[in-house]
Amino acid sequence: MSSLIKSGLIVSLFVLAGRLTGFGREWLLAFRGGASEHTDIAIVLLTFPDLVVNLLLGGGLTAALVPAYKRLGPGGDTALLMQACRIIGGVFVLLALSVAILALPTLSLLAPGLSESTRDSFVWHFRLVTLSLPMAALSGAVVALLNSRERFALGAAGTLIFNLSVIASLLVLPATETVTAIAAGALIGAGLRLATQTWGLRPVWTPPIGRHGLIDRTLVAQFLGSFSFLTVLVILPPLARAFSSLDDAGSLSLFNYAYKLVELPMGVVIGSIVTVLLPRLAADLPQGSAAAGHASLATSLRFTLLFSLVIAIPSIFFADVLVHIAFFSANFRADQFDTLAALASIGFIALPFQAMLNVYASAFAASGHTRPLVVTAIVMLFSVAVLAPNLLAQIGLRGVMMSYGIAYLLGTILLTWHTARHFGRATLRSALHHAPTNIALPAAAGLGVACLGSTIGVATWSRLLWACLTVIVMLTPVILSDQRLRTACMKRIKGHGR
């Protein structure tokens, strides 16, 4: 289990760097353009390549290929990679050409609230971005092989490479060419990401064993099962962004900024746990090591729930502080700052549900039991499609973020029930071991401190101190009650003292 935590920490460092540069990218965009129709189209261009790849492949590809790579072993896994790349490359080249031809209808689908003049002005920028689709798709297959060999760092570094390319492009070109900078940076970033990850395969590369037909019905069925669920996780943010574009100009940007603020801890802490968990479960569950697999799942659930609550509770009550820190000097109006803080607060309420859902999805994908994922996917997608436009009409942009959170709540409830049925209630009981001390008590203490601080704290620095105090109060009982965690902290302190 220590190696699981160690690998998670390594991934966390690279993911953290990627998320921080992602925030730098968002801050630079907000600093140059604030929240306007130009930033709306820039965000559509920036997110489109990874959206399409993750929509059609992303999570489903990783969930299907990582267990297959592990099962085939050296030589067989590289043969599967070559076969997968030939299919993926060909499909996405054709897809890129099709999207380029249908650029205007595609833009209308992604952001229906954009004016016709804005879509016409930047349609060629959008066509330029479509060239990155094959490179982004091939990167997914390469990263799956790297993860199966437990070389997580190179895969996690992909976001960092992409973001640095976009930031460099934004810094080189003037503010009047922001959309051009986004298009160029996205294309260059996708190319550099693929080249770096492919180069990283050299130390673990084994000549492919001459096998044919490795992409069989079983692999395709597993991909489709995971694809159905993980596609929803990918499509929910752009679906919500599309609905938000129907509000005032700049609303799409505000929703995206709030989403990125919530995504930072989600990607760093929870994403790292899930990235490391999947290969372990893939190795244990199919080979009959159910006890080891269930232990990994229970540990991941416990840590995920705890850390997501530690992050969510202070963030809900002090979202305004986070917004002013994360987007300092941004070109926002006062009312836009208030709206962004409200959106972020609502988003953080859903953070624990998002976190648990990602862990559940990895466990079911690794076990090959994907039917519950399909049902959950349909429920989540339907809830957003129904709730978002209705809540938008009633309470504005906040309603879109509320529908997003409700979808994750429903998904978590469904998959918790399926987890108890498939993996056994003992796994959930193990995850909630000492829950009153390690989860309920810290959460109650944190809520009390956060409520008090949000009531009496007025100045930004005062509210920041209260947010920090909330985190300390929540972690203290956990450290004091967990002997292993306390011993690890003491060793770390002694190590730094030397």
- For the stretch 142-199, pLDDT in tens is 988 888 887 777 787 888 999 999 999 999 998 889 999 999 999 999 999 999 999 9
Cα–chain-centroid distance for residue 399?
A: 22
- Predicted pLDDT at 461: 86
| 111-120: average pLDDT | 91
Judged against a pLDDT cut of 50, whether residue 475 lies above it is answered with yes
Q: How far is 126 from 183, CA to CA, in rounded Å?
A: 7
Q: Assign 336 a pLDDT band (cuts: 50, 70, 90).
A: very high
- DSSP H or E stretch at residue 260: helix 251-265
For 81, the token pair is 């990679």
What are the angstrom distances between the C-alpha of 124 and each of 9, 130, 253, 278?
Answer: 41, 10, 21, 39
Contacts of 84 (CB under 8 A, 6+ apart): 65, 141, 215
- Note the helical H segments in 245-350: 251-265, 271-284, 290-317, 319-326, 334-349
Q: How far is 47 from 181, CA to CA, in rounded Å?
A: 14
- Predicted pLDDT at 202: 87
Q: Look at the alpha carbons of 174, 180, 186, 192 in this order and tell me if their dihedral is positive or negative.
A: negative
Q: How far is 87 from 72, CA to CA, in rounded Å?
A: 19
Q: How far is 266 from 263, CA to CA, in rounded Å?
A: 5
Q: How far is 25 from 136, CA to CA, in rounded Å?
A: 19
Q: How far is 120 from 102, CA to CA, in rounded Å?
A: 13
> Counting every residue, how long is the chain?
498
- Predicted pLDDT at 492: 43
Cα–chain-centroid distance for residue 433?
A: 27
Q: How far is 189 from 327, CA to CA, in rounded Å?
A: 24
Cα–chain-centroid distance for residue 9?
A: 17
Q: In the chain, count of helices (H) and strands (E)? A: 24, 0
- Predicted pLDDT at 195: 94
Q: Between the ranges 233-237, 448-452, 458-462, where is the mean pLDDT highest?
A: 448-452
- Predicted pLDDT at 123: 94
Q: What are phi and psi of 140, to 5 degrees?
A: -60, -40
SS (H, E, C) 83-103: HHHHHHHHHHHHHHHHHHHCH
For 476, the token pair is 């203290």
Determine the residue type at 65.
Answer: L
Contacts of 26 (CB under 8 A, 6+ apart): 256, 257, 260, 327
Q: Between the ranges 230-239, 291-300, 433-442, 466-475, where is the mean pLDDT highest?
A: 466-475
pLDDT digits (tens, 9 = 90+) for 31-83: 988 898 999 999 999 888 878 877 776 566 777 788 788 888 888 888 888 88
Judged against a pLDDT cut of 90, whether residue 270 lies above it is answered with no
Q: How far is 102 from 124, CA to CA, in rounded Å?
A: 11
- Smallest CA-to-CA distance from 134 within 238, 234, 53 is with 53
Contacts of 236 (CB under 8 A, 6+ apart): 380, 381, 384, 404, 407
**Please, is 347 exposed, middle or buried when counting C-beta atoms within 10 Å of its C-beta (0-12, 13-18, 19+)?**
buried
Helix (H, G, I), strand (E, B) or coil at 150: coil
Q: Between the ranges 77-86, 390-399, 412-421, where is the mean pLDDT highest?
A: 390-399
What mean pLDDT value characterizes the chain? 83
pLDDT digits (tens, 9 = 90+) for 479-490: 776 655 555 445
Residue scoring higher pLDDT (300 or 372): 372
SS (H, E, C) 360-418: HHHHHHHHCCCHHHHHHHHHHHHHHHHHHHHHHHHHCHHHHHHHHHHHHHHHHHHHHHH
| 456-469: average pLDDT | 86
Name the CA radius of gyration of the chain, rounded.
Answer: 22
Judged against a pLDDT cut of 60, whether residue 285 lies above it is answered with no
pLDDT digits (tens, 9 = 90+) for 203-247: 888 888 776 777 777 777 767 665 666 666 778 888 899 999 998
Judged against a pLDDT cut of 90, whether residue 460 lies above it is answered with no
